[in-house]
Amino acid sequence: MNKQLLLRLTISTTLFLFVSMNTGFAQDPKVKKLQDKVDAAKLKVDKLDAKIVSADSLIQASQEMVKEADGELKSLDKEDKALLKEYYNAEKPLVKKLNSGDKDEVTQAKAELKTLDTKYKADRKELDGRIKASLKKYETGKKLLIKGKDNLKKSQDGKKEAEKLLKEAEKAFSKA
């Protein structure tokens, strides 16, 4: 508790001394106003720099998300083809049994075919859910990428203006 209080007191004293030395006690109001303009312009440039960094990280994260989702979709496509091939390969002999003359064999084939269809539908539903999730991830990544690029462009344009204003403010301050 005492360490925190001491730390806060030290920081506030240091800030007070720093501010009083920079601004001066008997400073001309015009000079003070110009200094405030320079400080505001610097603050604006710093904020825009932070927005640029944020937009860059958003772009990078969204690109990774799109790349990952694309890989998942390719993998799921292969899995889909394998599932379909497996189903048709298992279905073929059962369909042949349906055409045979033996009644017991036909009823057994119908039961096996029904079980196979149920299993295929369950596997298909699970696979479709994963495909849907990957597509959503892909679309989200694309939207974030567009948003990041828009934010980056706006921030860079704003930074150019802010830097121009900062140079003008610094020039006016140095003349005073």
Digit-by-digit pLDDT tens for the chain (176 residues) are 445 544 554 565 565 545 555 555 445 788 888 888 888 889 999 999 999 999 999 999 999 999 999 999 999 999 999 999 999 999 999 888 888 778 888 899 899 999 999 999 999 999 999 999 999 999 999 999 999 999 999 999 999 999 998 898 888 888 87
Superfamily of domain 27-175: Helix Hairpins (1.10.287.620)
User: What pLDDT was estimated at residue 124?
Assistant: 96
Report how far residue 150's alpha carbon sits from residue 10's, in angstroms, rounded to the nearest whole number.
43
C-alpha closest to that of 66 among 134, 140, 141: 141
Burial call 38-47: b when 16+ CB within 10 Å, e when fewer: beebeebbee
Please report, for residues 42, 82, 84, 130, the alpha-carbon distance to residue 88 in angstroms, rounded to integers and kept in the order given. 69, 10, 6, 22
Six-digit token string for 156: 């860079």
Give domain limits for the chain: 27-175
Helices (H) and strands (E) in the chain — how many of each?
Answer: 3, 0
pTM over 0.75: no
Q: Which 3 state secondary structure label does DSSP give 176?
A: coil
Identify the pLDDT of residue 38. 87
Length reported for the chain: 176
pLDDT for res 97:
87
- Residue 10: the pLDDT is 59
Amino acid 26: pLDDT: 45
